[in-house]
Copies of this chain bind each other. A is one copy, B any other.
Amino acid sequence: MKTKPVKLYDYQFSGNGYKIRLALAQLKLEVEVVNLDLLKGETWTLEFFAKNPMGQIPVLELEDGKFLRESNAILYYLTRNTDLMPVNLMGQTEVLQWMFFEQSNIDKVLGRTRFLKAFPDFREITNSEWEEWYSAGNKALKVLDEHLSKTSFLVSDAYSSADICLYGYVHTANEGGFELENYPSIQKWLENVRSTPCFTPQYE
């Protein structure tokens, strides 16, 4: 039994928030969106810590008053028992494999470089840090490109929440200084994702 989501705490720049907006749109679920400005500390309040002690968006509020956090866990909740999640355990495990891959190698690398390019005063970054991120990010993009050279979507050739998860930060990789031009299969896949029913872009 799934409880109806009613409110999304979000920050429009965030790829993690966008994953949830995209899934909700494609599942035709309407919720109230509350935008909080991370940079002004709006998620670092006692009121918000009660929703997520890590002080991070996205947080999804359910009708029964529960709060879900961690974008990929929220995706799992929303898409289980829908067309966006395989029905069998192996398919679900493959979706999660890509979600855990995304969190280490995409969110924490492509997402981070994008954030630091957009907000350069956030903190000082050494050359060796940038080099480590570009090396790790390009290694991950190469693995992704190779996989997508053989399939239209990440798991079982069918669009799923694994694609929504990866799309979140991969489609803005260039904003962080990566060059998607070098990854033709990823570019083709980005177009495949954009062609799915009820697709909605990050910025209106």
Closest Cβ–Cβ distance, residue A187 to chain B (whole Å):
19
Stretch at the interface among A18-26, A32-40, A69-77: A69-77
Indicate if A13 sits at the interface (CB-CB under 8 A): no
Of B76, B100, B107, the contact of A93 (CB 8 Å cutoff): B76
Q: How many copies does the complex hold?
A: 2
- Cross-chain contact A97 with B70 (CB below 8 angstroms): yes
A139 contacts across to B, CB distance below 8 A: 54
A96 contacts across to B, CB distance below 8 A: 70, 72-73, 76, 96
- Cross-chain contact A77 with B89 (CB below 8 angstroms): yes
Cα separation A72 to B102 with both chains bound (whole Å) = 13
Chain A residues within 8 Å of chain B by Cβ, number: 43
0/1 interface trace, chain A 12-54, chain B, CB 8 Å (1 if under): 0000000000000000000000000000000000000000011
Indicate if A63 sits at the interface (CB-CB under 8 A): no
Looking at chain A's contact residues, is the secondary structure mostly helix, strand, loop, or mixed? helix
* A74 closest partner in B (C-beta): B93
Indicate if A124 sits at the interface (CB-CB under 8 A): yes
- Cross-chain contact A146 with B97 (CB below 8 angstroms): no
- Cross-chain contact B101 with A103 (CB below 8 angstroms): no
Indicate if A121 sits at the interface (CB-CB under 8 A): no
Cα separation A94 to B88 with both chains bound (whole Å) = 20
* Supplied contacts A53-B146, A77-B90, A123-B128, 20 more A-B pairs, CB within 8 Å: A1-B88, A1-B89, A3-B90, A54-B101, A54-B143, A66-B90, A68-B93, A68-B97, A70-B100, A72-B100, A73-B93, A73-B99, A77-B89, A80-B92, A96-B96, A99-B100, A100-B103, A103-B104, A108-B108, A126-B126
